[in-house]
Amino acid sequence: MVENRPLLSILAHIVLLLGVAIVALPVWITFVGASHEAERMLQTPIPMLPGDQFFVNLRQTLWGSGLEGTNTAPVWMMLMNSMVMALMIAIGKIAISLLSAFAIVYFKFPFRMGFFWMIFITLMLPVEVRILPTFEVIADLGMLNSYWGLTVPLIASATATFMFRQVFLTIPDEMLESARIDGAGPMRFFWDIVIPLSRTNIAALFVILFIYGWNQYLWPLLITTDTDMMTIVVSIKQMLEAAEQSPQWNIIMMTALLAMIPPIFVVIAMQKLFVQGLTETDK
Amino acid sequence: MLKRVHFPASLLPYLLVAPQVIITLIFFIWPASQAVYQSFLIEDAFGFSTEFVWFENFEYLLQDDHYRDSFGRTIFFSAAVAFLSMSFALILAGFADRVIRGSTTYRTLLIWPYAVAPVLAGALFLFMFNPTIGIFPYLLEMVGYDWNHYLNGRQAMFLVIIAAAWKQVAYNFLFYLAAMQSIPRSIIEAAAIDGAGPIRRFATIIFPLISPTTFFLLVINAVYAFFETFGIIHAVTQGGPANSTTTLVYKVYNDGFIGLDLGGSAAQSVILMFMVIVMTVIQFRFIEKRVQY
C-alpha cells in the first residue's frame, strides 16, 4: 500500500471480517436450525450453536416424504428436478446462442440484421413482465408439468448471443482464410476452430447460467402443478406456508441449505470462471 | 459486426439461427404482442364476452390509487435496496482494496450470496425475523421493541429490503473491488505524496474515478429490485400486510393469476415492458461511457 499505517490495516481487517460475519449470519442461523430437533426450534431463544441432529435431519429431509402435512415431493427428487432444469437451461442457452452468433458473425445473408434485432428484443422482455401470455402459450402447447415447458421458454438469450458475438469477432480472420484454403466447410470450421477457441468463455457462461437456471422461481412456480415436477427452490415456499400449521423448522432449514449448496459450490469452486462470466455478460 | 472474410449465403445460416428465432417468436414476441392486445380488452367476470376498449385499462390503472401506490412503493424499495447494498459493498471494497494480503480470500467469502436464490434469501430472513421464534424479534423484545411484520407494513417493507440488499451485496462488491483495483497506483501515490490521507484520497480520487461503476451498478440494482425480487416478496410477505409490500411485478402476478383481471394485468405488463426498454437503453449508454473510461 501507499503508506504504512498498521492501525488502518488492522481496522481494514476488522471491518472486512465484520462484513463477512454479517453476510454469513443468515446462513449460519440456517445451518444451526438444520441441526436441531423440531421441538428445540420452537423454544425461544432459538439456539445459536449447532446441535447434534444434523445427519438425522439430513436423512429425513432427503429420503423422507418431505414435510409433514404438505404434499411436496421427497427432497432428493426435487434436487434432481432442479439439476435437470438448470443443466437444460444452461446447455440449451449456450448451444443456441453459439449457433446464432456464429451465423450472424460468419455469414452474409438477407435479413441478417433483422434476426439480430429480433434476438436483441428478448433482452428487453424478462419473464416477469409477460407472465400471463407466456403461460397461456405453454398451456396451449400442452407443455405444463414437463421439463420442456420449464426450460425452453427461458432458453432464448440475447446476452449469451452478444457475448459469443464479441468473442467470435476477436478470432483473427486468418483462421478462417487458412481453414478455407485447407478445404474446411462452415461446420467443420465451427467445430474445430470456433468452439475450441471460445472454450473458456463457454465455461464462464455455463457457471452463470447454471446459477440462473437453478434459481428460477416464478416460472417453475407457474408451470409445475405436479408435485413430481417441483423444483427445490419452489418447494421452500410451500414449506413456509405449511410452517404456519406444523412448524418443522429443522426440515425447512435443511431443505433451504440443500437448495443453496449446489450453486454456492459452483461459485466458490469455479470462482475465476464465475467472475469472468459475470463481468463478460454485463458488457 | 460482420467478418471481413465470411461464408457465402446459403441455407445454412438460416438453419443456425432458426432455433433461437423460433423460440424468440413463440415465447417472446407472440406473448408480448398478446399482452399488448389484451391490454386493450376488458373481459367480464365469467369470461363470456370481451370488449375492445382502447386505452381504458391504462386510464383506469393510472387513476387507480392502488397502482399509483405500488408504483411509488417500488421506486422506494428499489432506491433503498440499491443504496443499502451499494454503500455496504462500497465500504467493504474500499477496505479490501487496502488489504495487501488476503483480498482474494475476502472476495471468496463475500461473493457467494450471489448464488442464493431470491426466494431462499427470503426464507432465511423470514426465519431470523419470525415473530414467534426468530432471533431478532427475541432480541428486539428485550429492548422493548415489538416486531411483527405480519401486522406492521413498515417492518414488512424493511424485511424485504434487507433480504434483497443482502443478496445483492456480493455483486456490487465484486464490481466495486474490480473498479478500485483498476485505478493506476501512481495517481494514488501522487496524492499520498501531496499529503492526502486515506479518507481524503477516497473522497477526492477513488470515488470520482469509480463513478462510472456506480452508475452502472445503480441501473443493475434498479433492474434487480424491480424484476428479480419477486421470490423474496412472495416468500416473506406475499405483498402484505395490506399491500404494503406489493411491488409492480408482484401486482402483475397477483392481478393476473390470483385476481384473474386479464386486461388490467396485461396493461401493467405493457407498462413494465416499456420501463424495461428505458432501463436497457440507459444501461447501454452508461456501459458505453464505462468502456470509454
pLDDT, tens digit, 9 for 90 and up, residues A138-175: 888 888 888 888 888 888 878 888 888 888 888 888 88
Of B178, B188, B277, nearest to A2 by CB-CB distance is B188
Instruction: Give the integer Cα–Cα distance in Å for B189 and B203.
Output: 15
> In whole angstroms, how large is the CA radius of gyration of chain A?
24
Instruction: Give the integer Cα–Cα distance in Å for A226 and A78.
Output: 11
Cα-to-chain-centroid distance, residue B62: 23
What ipTM score was computed for the predicted complex, to two decimals?
Answer: 0.86
For residue B289, the model assigns a pLDDT of 56
**φ/ψ (deg, to 5) at B43:** -105, 140
* Digit-coded pLDDT (tens) for B78-91: 999 999 999 999 99
Residues of B in contact with A79 (CB under 8 A): none
Residues A215 and A232: beta-carbon distance below 8 Å = no
Helix (H) or strand (E) holding B50: strand B50-52
CB contact under 8 A, A19 and B88: yes
Per the listing, cell 443468515 goes with A26
CB contact under 8 A, B115 and A263: yes
Percentage of residues in chain B with pLDDT exceeding 70? 91
- Min CA distance, A187 vs chain B (Å)? 9
Instruction: Give the integer Cα–Cα distance in Å for B198 and B192.
Output: 8
For residue A92, the model assigns a pLDDT of 93
Closest by CA position to A123, among listed B24, B15, B252: B24
CATH superfamily of B64-292: MetI-like (1.10.3720.10)
For residue A62, the model assigns a pLDDT of 76
Chain A interface includes B136 (CB < 8 A): no
Mean pLDDT value of segment B122-144: 87
Instruction: Give the integer Cα–Cα distance in Å for B254 and A178.
Output: 58
Instruction: Give the integer Cα–Cα distance in Å for B15 and A122.
Output: 19
Q: Is the pLDDT of residue B270 over 80?
A: yes
CB contact under 8 A, B99 and A13: yes
For residue B292, the model assigns a pLDDT of 41
Per the listing, cell 470509454 goes with B292
* Digit-coded pLDDT (tens) for A65-115: 656 656 667 788 888 999 999 999 999 999 999 999 998 888 888 888 888
For residue B48, the model assigns a pLDDT of 65
Structure-block grid coordinates of residue A192: 474445430
State whether the Cα torsion B181-B185-B187-B190 is positive or negative.
Answer: positive
Closest by CA position to A140, among listed B214, B31, B206: B31
For residue B49, the model assigns a pLDDT of 67
Q: Is the pLDDT of residue B293 over 60?
A: no
Closest by CA position to B41, among listed A132, A49, A93: A132
Q: Would you place residue A282 in the very low, low, confident or very high pLDDT band (cuts 50, 70, 90)?
A: low
Closest by CA position to B20, among listed A118, A112, A212: A118
Pairwise pLDDT comparison (B169 vs A59), residue with the higher score: B169
Residues of A in contact with B135 (CB under 8 A): 29, 45-46, 48
* Digit-coded pLDDT (tens) for A213-264: 999 888 888 888 887 888 888 888 888 887 777 677 888 888 889 999 999 9
Q: Which of A10, A13, A23, A191 to mutate to test the interface with B (most CBs of B within 10 A)?
A: A23
Mean pLDDT value of segment B147-158: 87
Residues B41 and B263: beta-carbon distance below 8 Å = yes
Nearest CA in chain B to A178: B5
CATH superfamily of A70-281: MetI-like (1.10.3720.10)
* Digit-coded pLDDT (tens) for A102-145: 988 888 888 888 888 888 777 677 776 677 788 888 888 888 88
* Digit-coded pLDDT (tens) for A13-52: 899 999 999 999 999 988 888 888 777 777 777 777 887 7
Q: Which of B103, B110, B126, B127 to mutate to test the interface with A (most CBs of A within 10 A)?
A: B127
Structure-block grid coordinates of residue A156: 432464448
Mean pLDDT across chain A: 84
CB contacts < 8 Å between A and B, how many? 301
- Min CA distance, B273 vs chain A (Å)? 6
Mean pLDDT value of segment B248-276: 81
- Min CA distance, B213 vs chain A (Å)? 12
CB contact under 8 A, A274 and B111: yes
* Digit-coded pLDDT (tens) for B84-111: 999 999 999 988 888 877 778 888 888 8
Chain A interface includes B12 (CB < 8 A): yes
Rounded to 5°, the CA angle A200-A148-A196 comes to: 20
Q: Where are the domains of chain A?
A: 70-281
Q: Where are the domains of chain B?
A: 64-292
Name the residue type at position A210: F
Closest by CA position to A215, among listed A135, A98, A127: A127
Of A102, A124, A134, nearest to B16 by CB-CB distance is A102
* Digit-coded pLDDT (tens) for A185-224: 888 889 988 999 998 889 989 999 999 999 988 888 888 8
Tell me if residue B193 falls in helix, strand or coil. Answer: helix
Nearest CA in chain A to B39: A133
Tell me if residue A47 falls in helix, strand or coil. Answer: coil
Tell me if residue A52 falls in helix, strand or coil. Answer: coil
